[in-house]
Structure 1
Amino acid sequence: MQSTVNYLWHTEDLLGQGATASVYKARNKKSGELVAVKVFNTASYMRPREVQVREFEVLRKLHHPNIVKLFAVEETGPSRQKVLVMEYCSSGSLLSVLESPEHAFGLPEDEFLVVLRCVVAGMNHLRENGIVHRDIKPGNIMRLVGEDGQSIYKLTDFGAARELDDDEKFVSVYGTEEYLHPDMYERAVLRKPQQKAFGVTVDLWSIGVTLYHAATGSLPFIPFGGPRRNKEIMHRITTEKPAGAIAGTQRRENGPLEWSYTLPITCQLSMGLQSQLVPILANILEVEQAKCWGFDQFFAETSDILQRVVVHVFSLSQAVLHHVYIHAHNTIAIFLEAVYEQTSVAPRHQEYLFEGHPRMLEPSLSAQHIAHTTASRPLALYSAASTTPTGLAFRDPTLDIPKFVPKVDLQGDYNTAKGMLGAGYQALRLARTLLDAQELVLRGLHWAVEVLQTTCRRTLEVTRTALLFLSSSLGTDRLGNVAGRPETQELREAAELRSRLRTLAEVLSRCSQNITETQKGLSSLSAELVKNRDQVHEDRSIQQIGCCLDKMHLIYKQFKKARMRPGLGYNEEQIHKLDKVNFSHLAKRLLQVFQEESVQKYQAALVTHGQRMRMVHETRNHLRLVGCSVAACNTEAQGAQESLSKILDWLSHQLLRDIREGAQTSPPPIAPYPSPAPADLVLHMQELCEEMKLLAFDLQDNNRVIERLRGVPSPDV
């Protein structure tokens, strides 16, 4: 046990160790509050006095939620070693988070954004106080969990920090080699003499490497054999990196350097976030300090990301979920363009559904009018242009699984188990993503079908109403009342108009039958979709993969303990070998479930989705044609009725004039019923005129309904 006046700790409670100090978990003697104490060793006192006190002075100057708090500076007993009493972060460091198998391929997007927000805020406070950290890395970013369950990251270890304005330089070298700026690396690691001075932008390089590490789970610059085994190639990669490249790798000994301008496909960040992040990484991972961004631009660009809101959009034509990052004050037109950049669906072809209803997005409105979305409740994007669904692009986790060597190698076996477990967790994430995509596909398609069914019902209602009026009009041959008059041009035109109305009634009847058949097809598809959704909900592949991972994790923990031992006894070694065999079997079973239950089902679902999308697209176009046909029939029928009404009005007036003038009518034709009296004939003609006017009015109303129907969003609105 060791102690100061107010704190005590045990040397076994080591949290971290460096060249000049060790950090322990300690307690306040009075309150029992947990703290972290940094105890300086003998080597630290060999530094110049101003260097020794620099960390105390820097910490006293800083007060920010994203910087570890300094509570006190005390001394141990007789040795009078300096002790910094600081805030204790119970969840370890960002490095410990990234070293866990769950994060072998980087942090989830939400957690990465928390890291970005905390690091940017902490660094901004440093710059406001004119301080350069000089040792930014995941191990110096501590983590604790707040009361709301969200992570809070804090910068720590200011042993290398010093006050430095933006235009000042320094020549001393500090830092951890994988995160060092290439100029500092050349002098500190390669021991090459050079007279370069360094500015505050060296922290930006370290931040760039740290953010890349957090996003991908690996370092951006990796020579064959690793950064610490091939230092010359490490320096070559960082100094020869082309503009815009954010990573460089040498895959074989003495092999060529391969450059990457994007984050790897295994990264968990969405393409929407990657498109915002990659330009920042490219501009702070710049060797020439004159070309590297300054902190002002870095803060401006990162703040721009952090101030954006995410709109989740599931593209039915791709079967892919997109995260669209926009500002709340942007217009919807900007949002539509952002969607186009990720989906290649032009704004004029973008039509949206949300929670089963068409969602009209007026380009001139603010993006605040877009519905609040989540990954499980996204906007469903339907493209008016028919395409074949591409599905989610991913890397097969089996390609990243190492294999155990036959002999017992405690460190090597631990590393292999860690790699296999990391690939297993990646398979679990992909399995969840593929299953969620199937659910979103079926849900979105079901919404589209429901909108089509609504369109069918409305079109059918208008069609049947038009048919009812036409049938009523054609039910009694009113022209027979004037059949006794000599044949005139007007009578011939009236007969032709009635014939045309009968033809239109037949066309509308066929449209009605066509729509009814379409409804049956849509109802059948809807039932299929509901059945498929039930099957997706019953899928147990996630539970099976999770069960394998739980068992693998228990063995991994044993390997983690064993690697710290110098060796194993005979019986322990036999158990260790059996654990390796069991671990391999579990990994094989896990990947088998992933391939057969997750990937194959997803690929089959993707093919079926493509067929259904084509059916929906064809049905949608067909309903538009039918709707246009019904509207055209209504318009033509309205015109015919108006013309017929005018002719009958004229004939009625002619007949009334003849009666009033006492004119003789022609002999009545042979008919199966007696000729009507003149007074009855006038009455019939007047009734006919009134009925035709009413029918024309109703047809006009129907035509307006059809025109509105044309503007009603169908499944793709």
Structure 2
Amino acid sequence: MTTSPESSGGATQSHKPACPTAEMGRWPASWEQEMQSTVNYLWHTDDLLGQGATASVYKARNKKSGELVAVKVFNTASYLRPREVQVREFEVLRKLNHQNIIKLFAVEEMGGSRQKVLVMEYCASGSLMSVLEGPENAFGLPEDEFLVVLRCVVAGMNHLRENGIVHRDIKPGNIMRLVGEEGQSIYKLTDFGAARELDDDEKFVSVYGTEEYLHPDMYERAVLRKPQQKAFGVAVDLWSIGVTLYHAATGSLPFVPFGGPRRNKEIMYRITTEKPAGAIAGTQRLENGPLEWSYTLPVTCQLSMGLQSQLVPILANILEVEQAKCWGFDQFFAETSDILQRVVVHVFSLPQAVVHHVYIHAHNTIAIFLEAVYKQTNVAPQHQEYLFEGHLCVLEPSLSAQHIAHTTASSPLTLFSMVSETPKGLAFRDPALDIPKFVPKVDLQADYNTAKGVLGAGYQALRLAQALLAGQELMLRGLHWFVFSNMAGVTEIQELKRAAELRSKLRTLAEVLSRCSRNITETKMTLSNLSSELMKNRDQVHEDRSIQQIQCCLDKMYLIYKQFKKSRMRPGLGYNEEQIHKLDKVNFSHLAKRLLQVFQEERVQKYQASLVTHGKRMRVVHETRNHLRLVGCSVAACNTEAQGAQESLSKILDWLSHQLLQDRTKGAQASPPPTAPYPSPALKDLVLHMQELCKEMKVLASDLQDNNRVIEGLSRVPSAPDI
């Protein structure tokens, strides 16, 4: 079982100068005693990449080409194992060929000792563990990088299962990172010393693995040394994958007893075996204290809620002790592939002032997207309105989601809700709560650990400050677009004054038309003032220097952290060096205090104030839009009544014209006296009056239809100018 430092097929690039190749001349005399080689490869023993119980891994070079490789040199203890165990790793690696599996180039022997040497692909960027140990990833990987890890691990594990192989030691230290030609991360599974061929329905009884990532059944026998007759299946890899993915997502292990996993092993076993169904983490915060369970990822995690909602059920079902309840690899591959095949749509919710990542399939309908937005924002589909880059974005539910515009975190869809609510803003944990304190005495290892913890919290503060500033910008920009759209509608609605001038022509519509034309100027002035205020605030946000101030503190802190990291490797410090170390601790603490002060006063307080102002402005926009919507309804009602009145007048006029025609006909047939050859003047005047009124009604109806079209346009947001 691996409990020593991580052994791997590659690690971070050494800072020593590269060894010359054989063709470049003799080796320096000081190096010759420490050089080791096979027929085709050579290495210096200082270039150690990793070390395990049975082997050490070094950075080596091809003697002819100078190509960098990683060589795994087996020690004496490895040859005490059965012969089939010794050759198993060679056989497994020869069987595998995948971009997410470390490549085996050759199996050679050292000249004198005849020790076996595996020559493998060299990964200059270290392991996933070295990535997670960086202070910037103290709270887990960014979402994009986590998805790369997930994609690579799933693809590599799928290749293993296709070849009937169980790894038995999955952990971040055995997942190597390579940087591709385009700068992208490529992760590869390595260290197949514990691997063996095993079908889905087969079992094994031998114990391998690393404590923190070990399946509880194996942990019981290997770590607690309790005799038990359980046999293990391929599900042990799934447990290790679950712990590894949780570690990558959060920067921490999921199961942590008080004092750490290796301090209290009995409690560690209790946490993993007593975990309730659905829980993905367990912690003991106090010595001899109760166990606390978590069913979600911590708020400090960098993954969006959209991705978390997809990932958490997977973690819950592979971190399951009972093999009957644990998912098999088929379901694990199906569910993870489902995540990886989705596309993300970035949505900034103006009602909440939060950016959401909505994961959907390209073949889904927009109706499914709208429902997904509803789950994250609580804004019902019928109340959702969207803008993209200031332009109306009409989402037809029956269309494919492929019709949705391509979004990014800085250029999301802007969601407006027709239902007003108080913005809550981004939820986060104050980084100050995660800052450890230096011990008074000089303790190089403890000082390094403390500096690393403080620096990790500092990077978290920087990320949060950037997110808060970006959210503030999106609030102002999105609201400005909607204010502009309403102003455009108010300008056009001035045409209602023409309809109001006709109110004397139809007394029954006069009051409605009068209401439609009131307060237009006042509404326009309100929106104009709000638009000017938003532009002024956006200028202030652009001038904000808090991010640069936080970054400056972090840069200075990082230099001190690097010195602490270097000093911890020394046996001790001289008097003058110790005094400088103490001063560095004081300066480091002052910088951390300054960083948090800028974060709280310049970013958090301003962001919270902007949320309050954003809420007030949203209420103004809602009131304005509701007022204009009522105007639209009134104009539509006027239009309906006018059309009805016009139809009635037309019928009356037709009847009167018919009567007039009949009177003329009767008069001609009866040969009336010359004094009365035409219909009565009263009937003729009534017909003329009705014809005039009908013409006026047609004009009024036409005006109302025009204004109705203007009002209907208010429900469609026109394009806003680029700002």
TM over 0.5: yes
| Partner residue of 1:532 out of 525, 532, 537 | 537
Q: Is structure 2 residue 161 aligned with structure 1 residue 127? A: yes
2:46 paired residue number: 12
8 Å contact 1:421–1:549 — kept in the other structure?
yes
| Partner residue of 1:328 out of 335, 350, 362 | 362
8 Å contact 2:649–2:694 — kept in the other structure?
no
Paired with 2:692 and 2:363, the residues of 1 have a C-alpha distance of: 57
1:362 Cα shift? 2.0
For 1:566-581, list aligned pairs within 5 A: 566-581=571-586
For 1:26-45, list aligned pairs within 5 A: 26-45=60-79
Shift in CA distance, 20/136, structure 1 to aligned 2, threshold 3 Å: same
TM-score normalised by length of structure 2: 0.89
Paired with 1:618 and 1:449, the residues of 2 have a C-alpha distance of: 12
| Partner residue of 1:428 out of 462, 468, 485 | 462
2:267 paired residue number: 233
Q: Is structure 2 residue 290 aligned with structure 1 residue 256? A: yes
8 Å contact 1:20–1:40 — kept in the other structure?
yes
The SS at the match of 1:312 is strand
1:219-276, Cα deviation, whole Å (9 max, x unpaired) = 0000001011111111111111111111010011111111111111100111111111
Paired with 2:714 and 2:238, the residues of 1 have a C-alpha distance of: 50
CA RMSD of aligned residues (A): 2.6
2:149 paired residue number: 115
| Partner residue of 1:269 out of 283, 299, 303 | 303
2:601 paired residue number: 596
Letter in 1 for 2:603: S
Q: Is structure 2 residue 505 aligned with structure 1 residue 466? A: no
8 Å contact 1:638–1:699 — kept in the other structure?
no
1:495 paired residue number: none
1:245 paired residue number: 279
Paired with 2:293 and 2:444, the residues of 1 have a C-alpha distance of: 34
1:33 Cα shift? 1.4
8 Å contact 1:459–1:627 — kept in the other structure?
no
Structure 2 gaps of 5+ residues are: 1-34, 719-723
Letter in 1 for 2:547: I
8 Å contact 1:351–1:716 — kept in the other structure?
no
Q: Is structure 2 residue 606 aligned with structure 1 residue 634? A: no
1:670-706, Cα deviation, whole Å (9 max, x unpaired) = xxxxxxxx99999999987666555444444444445
| Partner residue of 2:568 out of 563, 566, 589 | 563
Paired with 1:71 and 1:697, the residues of 2 have a C-alpha distance of: 89
| Matched residues, number | 677
The SS at the match of 1:12 is strand
8 Å contact 2:631–2:711 — kept in the other structure?
no
Shift in CA distance, 653/131, structure 1 to aligned 2, threshold 3 Å: closer
8 Å contact 1:649–1:689 — kept in the other structure?
no
2:27 paired residue number: none
Paired with 1:663 and 1:299, the residues of 2 have a C-alpha distance of: 105
1:641 Cα shift? 5.0
Greater mean deviation of Cα atoms: 279-288 or 625-634: 625-634
Paired with 1:664 and 1:6, the residues of 2 have a C-alpha distance of: 135
2:421 paired residue number: 387
1:509-537, Cα deviation, whole Å (9 max, x unpaired) = 55334223212211111111111111111
8 Å contact 2:391–2:717 — kept in the other structure?
no
Letter in 1 for 2:160: L
1:477 paired residue number: none
Paired with 1:534 and 1:360, the residues of 2 have a C-alpha distance of: 30
1:40 Cα shift? 1.1
The SS at the match of 1:143 is strand
Greater mean deviation of Cα atoms: 170-179 or 370-379: 370-379
Shift in CA distance, 51/655, structure 1 to aligned 2, threshold 3 Å: closer
Give the percent of matched residue pairs that are identical in Structure 1 and Structure 2: 83
Paired with 1:684 and 1:442, the residues of 2 have a C-alpha distance of: 63
The SS at the match of 2:519 is helix
8 Å contact 2:642–2:701 — kept in the other structure?
no
1:297-350, Cα deviation, whole Å (9 max, x unpaired) = 100110011011111111111111111111111122211221111111222222
Paired with 1:704 and 1:89, the residues of 2 have a C-alpha distance of: 72
2:243 paired residue number: 209
Paired with 1:619 and 1:153, the residues of 2 have a C-alpha distance of: 53
For 1:65-84, list aligned pairs within 5 A: 65-84=99-118
Paired with 2:248 and 2:466, the residues of 1 have a C-alpha distance of: 22
8 Å contact 1:452–1:714 — kept in the other structure?
no
2:372 paired residue number: 338
1:399 paired residue number: 433
Q: Is structure 2 residue 219 aligned with structure 1 residue 185? A: yes
| Partner residue of 2:404 out of 370, 379, 395 | 370
8 Å contact 1:641–1:695 — kept in the other structure?
no
Structure 1 gaps of 5+ residues are: 475-497, 666-677
1:140-159, Cα deviation, whole Å (9 max, x unpaired) = 00001111211110000001
TM-score normalised by length of structure 1: 0.89
Letter in 1 for 2:570: R
1:316 paired residue number: 350
2:173 paired residue number: 139
8 Å contact 1:309–1:328 — kept in the other structure?
yes
Letter in 2 for 1:190: L
1:508 Cα shift? 3.0
Q: Is structure 2 residue 523 aligned with structure 1 residue 522? A: no
